[in-house]
Homo-oligomer: A and B are copies of this chain.
């Protein structure tokens, strides 16, 4: 999506009719399939060429050191990075001994379709080999919403003009070679190189099983594949298989006349755990496979469509008169359900399971951008996401204690609940994540009136986050409750006093904690809440200081912001964006320039705290300060892309690199540019 990919505008599909190899990194993200439990990038079936091969399992990460030139008290030292696990989607094809590789020969037809009602990625290709042998390849892929551990591919090949000998190699491959571009820190590179250690490999008929373990984080990962082969009557098929610690391969050979199809249906099941034993995992994937084969590919497709029919019945937003926007809205909803549907008490990462962007971390985006959608469209998934947060509450309480604070301080970025942010001004200081979690609790209860959840999960989250605010803020000499030294949503400012977004969200958090503690008195008392504390929360909320610039008639994003110099946008060129790759923080922070909506987001989430006049004035003021939209090039399709903003209209997937971690060699005076629409946070 760097250059505009040739997607057609249509209501329920994302269709690509031309293949641009330079766009593979982006299209692999757009065409990624996931159910929130497992995720596969839209890599070509044959594996190469690729932008970045990717298969991800929710919470399967590797630990790696977080290095500091100058360390400080409370800095996290251990990071977590999602890893590319055993690739189950690989099906290589050879035509008369020539590998099917789009870098060679000639592509007569290409189409990939992400069907948002079917929940499939369908591909149809007509290719002529360098020896002019033409074949038609059709594949249909799904990651099942109903069989949580299963993905399946139906792969068909037929000669177009002449009889051809075709060989299919269906594989499982661990420790795939990844493109260059990792960390320059050798400890980090070592931790991320070949992250899977082989434990067991097995092949039994058409079934291949590989079991691995991560080196440092202790995650055991099992993958198993089984195959169904279909050919026309009378066509002779040979199969053989091989398996090694890091790969397993089923080979199918047939000689086909034009019109004769070889069809291979591949079922793959994944299982992983930090606790369950190797035999338990081996059995788990065998059971997953057996279940999938029992259902069969056609019924998997039918269940997939039924699941999505039900989803769209609840979730669809119809946009009249703007087909492009209609498509964009559905695409966003589709990727959100893909990210959240079966996460089931595991985190929902900022990029779902579409790539390693942001290291696969979960941020406040989950509660602020994803859950408001899931709460109304897939409330069980939303509840599970909050249950995951609740499962990390003890870690958040420990983190607060490390920071000298009461209550809970949830991590800015994490997979397992431990803080992974290596830059505290935009991590630890962004305490608003705690109020964002509280906000999701409030919204969930508002939509579902699920008192049992609220009592068990919501109350402790509200209470411990309210405690954080009370201990971090203070009453000033005029009786205002101030929250100093925080970073709001906008990452082009940091460590400010009285960020309006933060203070308003903390106010809501404090009030909700007080209300919940009254509603669930017994449970609140078990948490040590007494009437003094409830009344203190109310007092903090009622006295919350919200700065306002009387002269300009607008709210400063944080105290003093509107006195800062305004970024001279006129002096900037395209090459200056994204700004964080061409300007030091020391400049960005002193200027009025906004990366993420901050005050404007406060107006959306706390609309009750602003008059209509203030909203209009604030919007007009901040719109001019926010990094710009790039206008759509003439004739281009799809929504305009933000220059500088990681929350685009969809979780557009990995940028193929460790987002959020500029490799050090890029941070020289003239750093190399990264893909424009995937800046690090």
Question: A495: CB under 8 A from chain B?
Answer: yes
Q: How far is the CB of A427 from chain B (nearest CB, A)?
A: 8
Question: A580: CB under 8 A from chain B?
Answer: yes
In the bound complex, CA of A180 to CA of B435 (Å): 44
Of the four ranges (under 10, 10 to 19, 20 to 34, 35 or more), the interface on chain A belongs to: 35 or more
Q: Is B422's CB under 8 angstroms from A668's CB?
A: no
Q: Is B402's CB under 8 angstroms from A669's CB?
A: yes
Contact with B along A402-437 (1 / 0, CB 8 A): 111100000000000000011111001100000000
* Contact pick for A587, options B403, B586, B664, CB 8 Å: B403
Interface residues in A48-88 by Cβ distance below 8 A to B read 65-77, 79
Question: A565: CB under 8 A from chain B?
Answer: yes
Q: How far is the CB of A535 from chain B (nearest CB, A)?
A: 21
Q: How far is the CB of A561 from chain B (nearest CB, A)?
A: 10
Q: Is B584's CB under 8 angstroms from A72's CB?
A: yes
Chain-B contact segment, one of A210-218, A476-484, A626-634: A476-484
Question: A663: CB under 8 A from chain B?
Answer: yes
In the bound complex, CA of A8 to CA of B53 (Å): 72
Tell me which residues across on chain B come within 8 A of A551, comparing CB atoms: 477
Extra 8 A-B pairs, beta carbons < 8 Å, given A65-B664, A402-B669, A484-B590 = A69-B75, A73-B582, A402-B584, A403-B586, A429-B586, A477-B551, A485-B586, A485-B589
In the bound complex, CA of A68 to CA of B183 (Å): 10
Decide yes or no: A662 and B423 within 8 Å by CB, A476-B563, A484-B564, A586-B485 being known contacts.
no
Question: A368: CB under 8 A from chain B?
Answer: no
In the bound complex, CA of A485 to CA of B668 (Å): 22
Question: A621: CB under 8 A from chain B?
Answer: no
Most buried by B among A76, A187, A587: A587
Q: How far is the CB of A74 from chain B (nearest CB, A)?
A: 4
Residue of B nearest to A660 (CB): B70
Tell me which residues across on chain B come within 8 A of A72, comparing CB atoms: 423, 580, 584-585, 662, 667
In the bound complex, CA of A580 to CA of B74 (Å): 10
Tell me which residues across on chain B come within 8 A of A424, comparing CB atoms: 584-586
Contact with B along A314-344 (1 / 0, CB 8 A): 0000000000000000000000000000000
* Contact pick for A67, options B401, B484, B664, CB 8 Å: B664
In the bound complex, CA of A405 to CA of B565 (Å): 14
Question: A259: CB under 8 A from chain B?
Answer: no
In the bound complex, CA of A184 to CA of B187 (Å): 10
In the bound complex, CA of A421 to CA of B184 (Å): 19
16 contacts between A and B (CB under 8 A): A67-B67, A67-B68, A67-B69, A70-B661, A70-B662, A77-B667, A186-B187, A403-B584, A403-B586, A403-B587, A429-B586, A476-B563, A482-B564, A485-B589, A559-B560, A560-B560
